[in-house]
């Protein structure tokens, strides 16, 4: 499949270094019978905030797992910063170090402290001895504390995870990802369970981090309103297919997938989708 | 009460009577034997107090044997449990190790003791080895079951950073399963003290060795004193481990439960 990509006209502009993620006709499945994703095409610009919205079971989490190589497509082409995801490829493995992934339940180690959780983000930078002895270098500890302060948890470094509130736990997960010095942040419904105000605090934090470190954020959301508020682009997934890609330009919602839908039609389409 | 239930209860009662006849369970003999207990108590009171320090020392030796066996057993069981967890290894690794552990578990500790008495001669060392084997079999199984039920989210989040397997184990698997481990260690130590108390019956050291010898020479009073020491020790240790569990383990697990959402 790689050969096809090289010889034929590529589906995306592969010359530009602007694209950080590209998918072309990607299919994937958990069992051999049903496809969880069917023919996904997308392309994400570096430094943007890209949202994925859709009903439960539509394939949003699966789409994220393709981007950190937890899943492999059964068909189609994926490029992450122009490299095909493959855990056995040294070059890609190195890239994984800088892809922050926050799963739906955050994946924090509950019985350990905030600092210990955040330091996990620096594990790829440790040598064997340091990581075996759990002896993190002084500058990494300093960096971890700086990031903990950045996400608003200063003074709570030694609190255990199970003592924290939902919003605080999300801050820890973000801090662990930032500790990776990431280029990409993948977050699966990170604010879905939060109240309106806390959800926006967390989103502001991510947008702020994006500005600081030219980070591309790819986030699964439940709430279309919130997605439109923060994202440059919103992809709508339905039953494993991408049915819409929209963005806000001025007062209008623009359709980027087909380019021929009006704001009204788009909103109508989406509200139809959620009312069911 | 349905007729079906009545039939089941009837069958169980019938089996009880038949089995009791076969193995000579006789309530009459039990009642007739009760006065003998009084004789033992009388003999107990007549025993010279100088035997009590001996009994305490024998108990202390037993506890030390149990301690060594438990610690070494756990030290060997932990790596084995990591190798036999299905979510960390391929079939070719976990299947043979699980088979080995299952084989180890088929022997009760007293049979291990017998085997080691034959191998290394009678004495405390054989007893320690027996307790070690028993501990390996059980802790490894309990622990790989805990590892297999670890939440997949932390595993996914950390392994997708691209960390090594050793890092995944020491930073995710072990911390996530540690609270269970602590409570299992305590339980195992508690249980091993009881087990070690009887290993002396086959010559593998500990307080049971004294008890069986006194019984052989019809010194029931002395045997009873030693048994009483076992009883009191087990009660104390039981009480202490409940306290420790309440204070350190249940609390943290409870904290985790309350805040999972
Ligand atoms: N581990 C899995 N094994 C089998 N099927 C799965 C697994 N995870 C998800 N699926 C299926 O794949 C589809 C998409 O799931 P997912 O990506 O989790 O949806 P979403 O995140 O949008 O709720 C669903 O039909 C779901 O049942
Ligand atoms: Mg999901």
**CATH number of the CATH domain containing B239:** 1.10.3720.10
Q: How far is CA B4 from CA B13, B15, B155, in A?
A: 14, 17, 49
Query: How far apart are the C-alpha atoms of B143 and A151, rounded to whole Å?
Result: 36
Mean pLDDT on A41-45: 93
Mark yes or no for CB contact A123/B176 under 8 Å. no
CA angle A256, A260, A264 (to 5 degrees): 90
pLDDT for residue A8 is more than 80: no
Residues 50-109 of A with CB under 8 A from B: 68-70, 87, 93-94, 96-97, 99-109
Q: What is the pLDDT of residue A100?
A: 96
Mark yes or no for CB contact A132/B166 under 8 Å. yes
DSSP class of A163 = G
CA angle B171, B173, B179 (to 5 degrees): 100
Q: For residue range B43-77, list pLDDT tens digits in order.
A: 877 877 888 899 999 999 999 999 999 999 999 99
pLDDT for residue B257 is more than 60: no
Q: Where are the beta strands (DSSP E) in B66-206?
A: none
The alpha carbon torsion through A39, A43, A48, A52 (nearest 10 deg) reads -10
Confirm whether B9 is domain-assigned. no
Q: What is the pLDDT of residue A272?
A: 56
Q: For residue range B25-49, list pLDDT tens digits in order.
A: 888 888 888 888 888 888 877 877 8
Confirm whether B185 is domain-assigned. yes
Taking each helix axis from N to C end, the angle separating B124-148 and B109-120, rounded to the nearest 10 degrees, works out to 140
Which range marks the domain in which residue B150 is found? Answer: 47-254
Nearest to A96 among B154, B162, B256 (CB): B162
Least Cα distance to B208 among B72, B65, B33, B46 occurs for B65
Confirm whether B58 is domain-assigned. yes
Residues of B in Cβ contact (< 8 Å) with A132: 166, 170
Domain map (residue ranges) of chain A: 1-12+19-81+184-192+215-276
Domain tally for chain B? Answer: 1
More confident residue, B154 or A252: B154
What DSSP letter does each residue of A203-233 carry, written as one string? HHHHHHHHHHHT-EEEEEES-HHHHHHH-SE
Confirm whether B12 is domain-assigned. no
Q: What is the pLDDT of residue A170?
A: 96
pLDDT for residue A275 is more than 50: no
pLDDT for residue B255 is more than 50: no
Confirm whether B228 is domain-assigned. yes
Mark yes or no for CB contact B156/A180 under 8 Å. no
Mean pLDDT on A255-275: 69
Q: How far is CA B104 from CA A131, A181, B127, in A?
A: 34, 48, 16
Question: Residue A39's pLDDT band (boundaries 50, 70, 90)?
Answer: very high
pLDDT for residue B124 is more than 80: yes
In sequence order, what are the residues at sequence separation of 6 or more whose Cβ sits closer than 8 angstroms to the Cβ of residue A215?
A: A47, A182, A183, A184, A185, A209
Q: For residue range A144-191, list pLDDT tens digits in order.
A: 999 999 999 999 999 999 999 999 999 999 999 999 999 999 999 999
Which chain A residue's Cα is nearest to B155? A107
Mean pLDDT of the residues in chain B: 89
Q: How far is the CA of A105 from the centre of ligand 2 (A)?
A: 10
Least Cα distance to B47 among B238, B250, B224 occurs for B224
Q: What is the pLDDT of residue B37?
A: 84
Q: What is the pLDDT of residue A117?
A: 97
Q: Give the CB-side neighbour count of residue B5, counting CA atoms within 13 A.
A: 2
Question: Residue B157's pLDDT band (boundaries 50, 70, 90)?
Answer: very high
Confirm whether B55 is domain-assigned. yes
Residues of A in Cβ contact (< 8 Å) with B166: 131-132
Instruction: Evaluate whether A77 touches A24 at the Cβ level (below 8 Å).
Output: yes
Task: Give the nearest ligand 1 atom to A240 CA.
Answer: 14
Query: How far apart are the C-alpha atoms of B107 and A262, rounded to whole Å?
Result: 76
Mean pLDDT of the residues in chain A: 87
- Of A150-154, A246-250, B115-119, where does mean pLDDT reach its minimum? A246-250
pTM equals: 0.80
Query: How far apart are the C-alpha atoms of B28 and B33, rounded to whole Å?
Result: 9
pLDDT for residue B98 is more than 60: yes
Least Cα distance to A242 among A36, A17, A87 occurs for A36
| Ligand 1 pocket by Cβ (under 6 Å) | A 30, 36, 54, 56-62
Q: What is the pLDDT of residue B253?
A: 54
Question: Residue A271's pLDDT band (boundaries 50, 70, 90)?
Answer: low
Q: What is the pLDDT of residue A14?
A: 44
B259 exposure class (CB count in 10 Å sphere: 0-12, 13-18, 19+): middle
Q: What is the pLDDT of residue B247?
A: 78
Task: Give the nearest ligand 1 atom to A60 CA.
Answer: 22
pLDDT for residue A2 is more than 70: no
Question: Residue A273's pLDDT band (boundaries 50, 70, 90)?
Answer: low
pLDDT for residue A87 is more than 50: yes
- Alpha-carbon gap: B175 to the closest alpha carbon of chain A (Å): 7
Q: What is the pLDDT of residue B261?
A: 33
- Alpha-carbon gap: B241 to the closest alpha carbon of chain A (Å): 21
pLDDT for residue A251 is more than 90: no
Query: How far apart are the C-alpha atoms of A85 and A134, rounded to whole Å?
Result: 29
Nearest to A96 among B161, B172, B175 (CB): B161
Confirm whether B21 is domain-assigned. no
Confirm whether B218 is domain-assigned. yes
State the fold for domain A1-12+19-81+184-192+215-276: Rossmann fold (3.40.50)
Q: What is the pLDDT of residue B57?
A: 93
- Alpha-carbon gap: B95 to the closest alpha carbon of chain A (Å): 24
């Amino acid at each position: 499949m790689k050969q096809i990509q090289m010889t034929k006209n590529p589906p995306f502009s592969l010359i530009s270094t602007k694209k950080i993620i590209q998918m072309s006709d990607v299919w994937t499945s958990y069992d051999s019978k049903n496809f969880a994703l069917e023919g996904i095409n997308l392309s994400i610009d570096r430094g943007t905030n890209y949202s994925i919205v859709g009903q439960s079971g539509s394939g949003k989490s699966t789409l994220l797992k393709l981007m950190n190589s937890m899943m492999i497509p059964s068909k189609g082409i994926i490029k992450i910063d122009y490299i095909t995801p493959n855990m056995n490829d040294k070059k890609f493995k190195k890239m994984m170090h800088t892809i922050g992934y926050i799963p739906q339940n955050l994946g924090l180690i509950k019985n350990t402290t905030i600092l210990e959780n955040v330091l996990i983000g620096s594990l790829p930078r440790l040598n064997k001895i340091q990581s075996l002895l759990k002896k993190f270098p002084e500058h990494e500890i300093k960096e971890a504390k700086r990031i903990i302060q950045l996400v608003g948890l200063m003074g709570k470094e030694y609190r255990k995870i199970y003592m924290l509130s939902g919003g605080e736990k999300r801050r820890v997960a973000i801090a662990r990802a930032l500790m990776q010095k990431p280029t990409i942040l993948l977050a699966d419904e990170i604010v879905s369970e939060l109240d309106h105000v806390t959800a926006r605090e967390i989103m502001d934090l991510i947008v702020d981090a994006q500005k600081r470190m030219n980070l591309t954020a790819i986030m699964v959301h439940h709430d279309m309103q919130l997605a439109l508020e923060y994202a440059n682009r919103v992809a709508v997934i339905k039953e494993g297919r991408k049915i819409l890609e929209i963005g806000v330009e001025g007062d209008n919602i623009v359709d980027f997938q087909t380019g021929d839908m009006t704001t009204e039609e788009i909103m109508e389409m989406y509200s139809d989708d959620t009312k069911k | 009460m349905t007729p079906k239930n009545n039939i089941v209860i009837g069958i169980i009662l019938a089996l009880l009577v038949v089995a009791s006849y076969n193995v000579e369970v006789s309530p009459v003999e039990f009642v007739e034997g009760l006065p003998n207990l009084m004789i033992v108590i009388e003999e107990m009171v007549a025993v010279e107090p100088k035997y009590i320090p001996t009994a305490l020392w024998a108990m202390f030796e037993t506890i030390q044997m149990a301690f060594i066996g438990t610690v070494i057993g756990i030290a060997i069981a932990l790596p084995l449990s990591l190798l036999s967890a299905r979510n960390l290894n391929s079939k070719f690794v976990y299947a043979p190790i699980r088979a080995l552990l299952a084989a180890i578990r088929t022997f009760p500790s007293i049979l291990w003791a017998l085997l080691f008495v034959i191998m290394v001669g009678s004495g405390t060392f054989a007893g320690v080895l027996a307790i070690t084997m028993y501990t390996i079999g059980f802790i490894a199984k309990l622990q790989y079951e805990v590892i297999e039920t670890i939440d997949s989210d932390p595993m996914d989040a950390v392994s997708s950073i691209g960390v090594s397997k050793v890092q995944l184990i020491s930073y995710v698997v072990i911390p996530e399963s540690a609270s269970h481990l602590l409570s299992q260690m305590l339980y195992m130590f508690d249980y091993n003290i009881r087990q070690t108390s009887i290993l002396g019956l086959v010559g593998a050291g500990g307080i049971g060795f004294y008890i069986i010898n006194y019984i052989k020479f019809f010194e029931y009073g002395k045997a009873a004193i030693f048994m009483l020491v076992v009883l009191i020790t087990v009660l104390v240790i039981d009480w202490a481990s409940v306290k420790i569990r309440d204070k350190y383990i249940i609390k943290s697990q409870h904290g985790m439960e309350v805040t999972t959402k």
